[in-house]
Structures are given as structure tokens and as C-alpha cells.
Amino acid sequence: MNSGTQELKNSGTKITIIPAIDLIDAKCVRLSQGDYNQKTVYNENPLEVAKMFEDAGITRLHLVDLDGAKAKHIVNHKILETIASKTNLVIDFGGGLKSDEDLRIAFESGAQMVTGGSIAVKDRSTFVSWISKFGESKIILGADAMKGKIAVSGWQEDSGEDILPFIKAYVEKGISKVISTDISRDGMLTGPSFELYEEIMNEFPNLELIASGGIATMAEIIQLDQMGIPGVITGKAIYENRISLKEISKFIGA
């Protein structure tokens, strides 16, 4: 694995590795397949975790307000503000963002981008208005799927929509960034959905696609990079030391 990592580093790394911090009760947790009953607390100090990522040379962070996702409004903005003010990480923030006021709070608390998933299904006019109000560089579409169908409300509901037409409709509205999680793999360490991401990139070659869910090894990140996937989110693999921060640091050339 190390020789493969070194070889890729020498050939020029393209993929952006984006660690995830999921928040419940202001603690760093991970769920399995989005199930709140399958929760593991990894650290009670999210800032400490964020600083470890930054020290490894990581520049991006995916911060998810799981309390907000349940409450349907932003909850953990103080944690966002703390991490944003005490690190230089570029943070994309999601979880329960439903209103212009939620976005105002998120951006004022230090988020550089926000992710909308459920709202992009349930309140399309509001989500589209965000793209024009804040700009496509600041709005990320959450396209999370179970068996090819978009899932919403913390992955508790199947919308019945197929993922490719869903993405296409928003690309036509100006969306350029998409986070896509294969829910069946999220937190399971069973490997990412290579086929799904290949299908999305074939359909939308200019999309800034961020793969999420199932990452278990550095070799899988390398494979995604070789496929031309622009970004990857990983959480549990780091927290359970399947992927070390030293490996990531070496990969990105820090």
C-alpha cells in the first residue's frame, strides 16, 4: 500500500481527501448506515479532532450536524464557529439546513460551503434560490442513495427518485458540487460504490463529485483518484485507524 501511495504522490495527486466530523451533543460520533441507534462516540472534543486533521496537512473538513438533521434546523453552529475560528480548514457544513436563516447562521459561523440534501427533494424552490443567492461555489447538493434511489430525512425516507435524473435537474440549475453517499455502505467499511461514482462521472464529467461512504483503506482512495473522482469523504476508517493520518499526510505530500 505504501509503494502505491508513493507512486501516486509522484504522479500528482488530484483527489481531495475530506475527513468527516459528525456531531451529536457536541461530540464527534459516527453512525452506521445513518442509524442513530448505531452510534459510536469517538471524541468528546471535535476541535481536537479538527486540529489533528489540520496538523496532518489536510485542508478540508466535512462537518455534519446530526442533531440539526433530526431537529430540522441548525443546532451545532457553536462547534462550527469554534473549529472555523481556531483552524484554517475549509469547512462544508450540513445537517438540518432548511431556511435562509439556517444558512445565514452557518456562513456567519464560518462555513465556506453548505450541503443540502433533504431540502433539495422536499423544497426545491428554496434550494434553487440558495444557488442564485449564495452562488454555486457555496452550495453543495447532497445526493445520497440507497439502491440507486435518493434518500432523505437523515436517510430515513426513500424519495423514490433515481439518482442520475435528480443530479441532472440540479446541474441544469447551476449546481457544480455534489456529495454522493451510498447509504448501504456508510460506516460499514465495506468499500465505496465505485460503480455508482463511475456512472455519475460518465454522465456529468465536469461535476465536482465527492464520494462518500464505505471507505476502508488508502488503496480505495487511490482507486477513486485514478478514476478521476475529484473528492472523497472518509470518517470511520480514520477513527478506527484503518487509514492513518500519516498515510494521508504522505499521500497529499504534506
The confidence score (pLDDT) of residue 172 equals 97
Per the prediction, the chain carries an average pLDDT of 90
The confidence score (pLDDT) of residue 157 equals 54
How far from 201 is each of 174, 191, 198, 205, CA to CA, in Å?
17, 18, 5, 5
The confidence score (pLDDT) of residue 6 equals 35
pLDDT exceeds cutoff 50 at 11:
no
pLDDT-based confidence at residue 190 (cuts at 50, 70, 90): confident
Residue 145 grid cell? 442513495
From the candidate CATH numbers 3.90.1170.10, 3.30.40.10, 3.40.50.720, 3.20.20.70, the one assigned to the domain spanning 2-252: 3.20.20.70
pLDDT-based confidence at residue 95 (cuts at 50, 70, 90): very high
The confidence score (pLDDT) of residue 254 equals 52
pLDDT exceeds cutoff 50 at 8:
no
Average pLDDT over residues 194-207: 96
The confidence score (pLDDT) of residue 56 equals 97
The confidence score (pLDDT) of residue 7 equals 37
pLDDT-based confidence at residue 9 (cuts at 50, 70, 90): very low
Q: Which of 56-70, 105-119, 142-156, 158-172 has the lowest mean pLDDT?
A: 142-156
Average pLDDT over residues 158-178: 91
The per-residue pLDDT for range 130-139, each reduced to its tens digit, is: 999 999 999 9
Task: Report domain extents, the chain.
Answer: 2-252
Q: What is the dihedral of CA 111, 27, 213, 188, to 10 degrees?
A: 180
pLDDT exceeds cutoff 80 at 1:
no
Work out the angle between the directed axes of helices 2-11 and 218-226 (0-180°, nearest 10).
Answer: 30
The confidence score (pLDDT) of residue 12 equals 47
The per-residue pLDDT for range 19-62, each reduced to its tens digit, is: 999 999 999 998 776 677 778 999 999 999 999 999 999 999 99
User: Could you tell me where the beta strands, DSSP code E, fall in 49-136?
Assistant: 60-65, 90-94, 113-116
Q: Which residues of 50-59 are buried (b: 16+ CB within 10 A; e: fewer)?
A: beebbebebe
Report percent pLDDT > 90 for the chain: 76
pLDDT exceeds cutoff 60 at 153:
no
pLDDT exceeds cutoff 50 at 102:
yes
In which element (H, E) is residue 180 found? strand 177-181
CB atoms within 10 A of CB 158: 15
- Indicate which residues carry an active-site annotation: 22, 144
pLDDT-based confidence at residue 156 (cuts at 50, 70, 90): low
**Chain position carrying cell 465505496:** 192
The confidence score (pLDDT) of residue 176 equals 98
